[in-house]
Each structure stands twice: as C-alpha cells, then as structure tokens.
Structure 1
C-alpha cells in the first residue's frame, strides 16, 4: 500500500466569472474534509461577494496581485506574499488590477460551499 497520492486530475470547479479553480485536494477531489488545496487564476477586474467562512484560508500569490477587504481594511498582496485569514472573518476577495492573478488557496478545514456564507 502506497503512503502517498499524486494528484494528476484536479477537479475544475465550474464558474461563471472567468476564474479558474483547480481543486487538487479537498471535498470535491479526495473527499478530504480536513484541508483543501486549490490552484486559482483570477482574471483582471474579477471580484467575489463578501463572505464569512467557517474555515481558515491561506493564500499564496504566485503571480500578479490580489486585493482583500478584511473587516473594512484593504490589503493588497503581491507575488511571493502570503496571508492567513482566520475563520469567521468577513472578507471580500478581488482582482481589481489589469493583469490576472495566479495563486494557491488552502482552506482548513476544507472549503465547503455550505460553510462559506457568501453575501447576496
């Protein structure tokens, strides 16, 4: 029995906003409720509604910039920077810039649509 698993077929999350989401580990791919790891590319001028998730979220910027509004404070991360946002924190993610942003997102416990609590 192998003690490792190489993910070659991440789950491509269907989106309507032009954002690429490839979940490598998590509920949708490996049925892992403890952690999710996703590769993402946010197009220029992309944004999501505010949310207050029930999980910690770590983001590492591979390329470009990403804007976070965390409890009304604007934080901009650039290539090579990372952030941890504590669960139950109101946050909005966006890329208001003119270039796409490539990043890795890790959620603990795993990302779950029923626990993200996006505002309408």
Structure 2
C-alpha cells in the first residue's frame, strides 16, 4: 500500500474577522476544518464532500426499536415451527411490518 506524500505547509496567513464574519464562515464551510475549507475554496481544489445527516427523532428510533423486536420474535417463530400455516402467518406479519416501515420512512424522509 502506498502512502500519500505529506505536504508540509510553512506559510501562514492571518486575518481578523468580526464575530459575525467568523460565524458566517463556519456556517458555509463543508468538512471538518475551517483551514482546509478556506484552502480548497480559495485555490479551487475539489472538495471531498461529507454527507450531512439529519438528527434522529427519538420517537422514530423508539418505533424502529419496537419493530426490530417484533422482527426477531417472528424470525424465531418461523424457524421453529413445522406447520405451513404458521409460516404463512409469520410471512403475513413480515409483510405488515414492511408496510409499517415504508409508512415511517415516507413520513420522516422529507
């Protein structure tokens, strides 16, 4: 495996900003570090954009946890029964859970 060459930056630029200007820069930057964002923006290099994830809704997480528990119970039941009727019931429950998950996804993925 080849390592990336280390870039040693020795030149330093200092600027003074108002609190509002500094906050505006922080809000615009994409990535982890302000210096990297400024360098990429000013020198027009291509950014490795990081995904911005939404904050998870506690109700959504709780609902998904309950559904996960139901899935585990159904999977355990489906693996232990020999009756075709019971397996069909388990598959029907799985279909119901799938539709519930789709409704949740449609509601929260806006």
TM-score (norm 2): 0.20
User: Which structure is higher in strand share?
Assistant: 1
Higher Rg: 2
TM-score (norm 1): 0.19
